[in-house]
Structure 1
Amino acid sequence: MAIMQGAQLFRDTNGEVAQLHGIGVQRFGDRWYAYGEIKNNGNLFQGVACYSTTDFVTWRNEGTVLEVGEDGSITGPERIIERPKVMRCPQTGKYVMYLHVDGKGDYAYAHIGTAISDAPTGPFEFLNTMQFRGYESRDIGVFQDEDGVGYILSEDRPHGTHIYRLSDDYLSIVEDVICLRGTNYWAGYESPILIKKDGVYYWFGSCLTGWDCNDNMFATATDLHGPWSDFTPFTPEGSHTYQSQCDIIVPLDGADQWHAGRFLYIGDRWNPDDLGNSPLVTLPIDIDDRRAVLQWRDSWDNTL
């Protein structure tokens, strides 16, 4: 059995709290690899941690895979760097990490950062930062489609949330596929997630309410260019997504990630006074036929 709690602190095999805040997850081979913000000492950059698992219960600490840079550098300890996400580029075989890279203790810089490695466990070499046509980029998500094309989702406060198509080597942006604001909402959605099931794309995101939680939303389409459905909640209205902000939705079974039957929702339950011990909400989410439903469970069995 692999019993999970509705909300919990992941711990590694040494009993330490896994620093998986702003988590990104991908399956490489027979293990899932999770990347997270290290938050032991506040909100400034402390490196990117990596852990691996086969069941989301037992976690192996793979170390700090992107280290803090020197003072004054783009990855220095005075920067805000968040939302680490990793994909393996099928053209080059490289593992590419994407980050929300921001300013020195503020959110004035608003770029996408890239880093690269030969292995999912790093070490990752930081390459550069970018903005597509000068658009701001804060919270990000990533998605790889069945044809191997990679995408970045990027929240841009003045315009909405973009889906960007990546170059063949995954290191630059070549197309702004679509940019949307929320339904009856002034902005785009942060902490964006994109998955695909049986030919339908599901786009998830969180409203802009700072550290406070809100009713996260989702929309669907059969083409990334649209048309997209209205954004609607996937938890009971007023539940504030069970006091969480969506981070990642992980396909758990099926022949491939685009035809899975079971999915795991992971969301941050931020504690601004102790970010390093902020728990994660971890629940099965029902996704099918353009529907997404997340129901609360105190505990559940995630046996794979």
Structure 2
Amino acid sequence: MKLKSKSTTLIVLIFSLLGVAFFLLSSLNYKNNNKHKSFVPGSKWTDTNGIHINAHGGGVLYYNGVYYWYGEYKASGRSGNTSLKGVSCYTSKDLYNWKNEGIVLKVDKDPNSEITKGCVIERPKVVYNKKTGKFVLWFHLELKNQGYNAARTAVATSDTPTGPFEFKKSFRPNKGVWPLNFTYQQKKLRTWNKKELKDWSAEWIASVKNGMLIQRDFEKGQMSRDMTVFVDSDEKAYHIHASEENLTLHISELTDDYLDFTDKWISVAPTGHNEAPAIFKQDGIYYMITSGCTGWDPNEARSFKSTSIWGPWQPLGNPSIGKEAHLTFRSQSTFILPVQGKEDAFIFMADRWQPRNPIDGTYVWLPINMMNGKPVLKWQDKWDLNTF
């Protein structure tokens, strides 16, 4: 009886250990099976914890073998498009699987702060400055309860890519400075406030092209809304943003520490109504993809190229081809990501906005192909880096 009891206990123990082993193996297989091995544009994209990635309007920094994806942290409901948390960050080594690193720039509890809870923080972009050793975050800032009237750009810094980032300042750029590509005659024109002009009349369009809105904002600085930052091969950095009531793009050179503007800037495609700029460089040619201005609704993308950052920028038309190309596959550009270790490999990053419940917004990542000297975006239900 004693022997039988011990045998029974031993059998129960063995089966218990086998059960634990089976559970652990099943859990491991579950995790392996849920490890992303490809991109599925527009679908729900989960992080390593199985939670939908929350990094909208974002950009990616590659540093010391790791990709850092920064974005707007969205919340549920209509108030979710205001900043209730701050800027989020995710890390990856393969671009498919992303670990949540938390909020790297937090909104301020102080109601008098420019980045107080409830302000609007959009399009965060982080670049690394080799001279200072600082990670520099630029973003579009709208002050709380002011709608989109502030139209400011803002900067923060950190000693590490995962923060915390310290807010430095916000402002309207290029105060009291004319663009490099303005003529002497344009600088002398005085059309603003002379008389009321009907929007989109021939005279109004000509006046905007000749600097009417630049003249309007000359003393207080130019508007800065949707933006990105581009670091060239010579480590010079440039701030590209929608300005002049979103009618015209501005490209501005940043100082050597990437914390301010040098007063060198140009206007691009005046009255073209471009926003959401994303830029890359291939074989000495600069390419830019933008969107039109239709609020949260998708529209047809545009593209440009130039042999110099200072232009002239040649329009190339819609880079998207195929079904829903007229809506950029129901998404809007946020950044163009160079893939490390692969020559001339670039990923078009875009968001599918969900304004009624912003946290549910998804991401559309597509490879950029070059055809006849133009960037081309073609829809793919599923793809991986072997595409390049």
TM-score, length-scaled by structure 2: 0.73
Q: Tell me how far 1:54 sits from its aligned partner.
A: 1.7
Q: Which moved more, 1:131-140 or 1:246-255?
A: 246-255
Query: Structure 1: where are the runs of 5+ without partners?
Result: none
The AA in structure 1 aligned to 2:243 is: D
Equivalences for 1:85-104 in 2 at 5 Å?
A: 85-104=125-144
The Cα offsets for residues 219-253 of structure 1, whole Å up to 9 and x where unpaired, read as 00111111221241101385311110001111114
Cα distance in 2, alignment partners of residues 282 and 123 from structure 1: 27
1:73 alignment partner in structure 2: 113
Instruction: Within 5 Å, give how 1:133-212 maps onto structure 2.
Output: 133=175, 134-158=221-245, 160-181=248-269, 186-212=271-297
Q: 1:59 to 1:238 in 2, by over 3 A?
A: closer
Q: Distance in 2 between matches of 1:126 and 1:204?
A: 29
Distance in 2, Cα, partners of 1:193 & 1:300: 21
- Aligned-residue RMSD, C-alpha: 1.8
Aligned to 2:90: 51
| Contact 1:55 1:302 (8 Å CA) reproduced | no
| Structure 2 counterpart of 1:60, one-letter code | K
Cα distance in 2 between the residues matched to 1:263 and 1:121:
24
1:202 positional shift? 0.4
In the alignment, which of 252, 267, 275 is matched to residue 339 of structure 2?
A: 252
**1:240 is matched with which residue: 297, 322, 327?**
327
User: Which amino acid counterpart does residue 74 of structure 2 have in structure 1?
Assistant: K
Q: Secondary structure at the match of 1:153?
A: strand
Q: Deviations over 1:74-130 (max 9, x none)?
A: 111121111110000122010000010112241011111000000111000000012
Inter-partner Cα distance in structure 2 for 1:193 and 1:98: 14
Tell me the CA shift for residue 181 of structure 1. Answer: 2.3
Asked if 1 retains the 8 angstrom alpha-carbon contact of 2:39 and 2:383, the reply is yes
| Cα displacement (A) at 1:290 | 2.8
> How far does residue 9 in structure 1 lie from its aligned partner after superposition?
2.7
Could you tell me how far 1:73 is from its partner in structure 2? 1.3
Structure 1 counterpart of 2:63, from 28, 35, 40: 28
SS across alignment from 1:276: helix
CA distance in 2, matches of 1:140, 1:289: 28
8 Å contact from structure 2 (residues 316, 374) kept in 1: no
How far 1:4 moved relative to its partner? 1.2
Task: Identify the range of structure 1 (153-162 vs 48-57) with the bigger mean alpha-carbon deviation.
Answer: 153-162
In the alignment, is the contact (CA less than 8 A) between 1:114 and 1:127 conserved in 2? yes
Q: What does residue 230 of structure 1 align with?
A: 315
Structure with higher RCO (Cα < 8 A, 6+ apart): 1
- Distance in 2 of aligned mates of 1:179 and 1:218: 16
Moved more, 280-289 or 26-35: 280-289
Residue number among 349, 354, 357 corresponding to 1:266 in the alignment: 349
State the SS of the aligned residue for 2:320.
coil
Gaps of 5+ in 2: 1-35, 176-220
Q: Larger deviation: 71-80 or 292-301? A: 71-80
Aligned to 1:10: 45
Pairwise CA distance, 1:17: 1.3
C-alpha distance in 2, partners of 1:163/1:72? Answer: 31
**What is the number of equivalent residue pairs in this alignment?**
297
3-state DSSP of counterpart to 2:81: coil
Q: 1:174-196: CA deviations, max 9, x gaps?
A: 134321126xxx34421111111
Contact 2:115 2:143 (8 Å CA) reproduced: no
Q: Which has the larger radius of gyration?
A: 2
Query: Is the contact made by 1:10 and 1:57 (CA closer than 8 Å) also made in structure 2?
Result: no
Structure 1 pair 240–15 and aligned structure 2 pair: CA distance change class (3 A): same
Q: 1:288 to 1:251 in 2, by over 3 A?
A: farther
What TM-score comes out, normalization by structure 1 length? 0.93
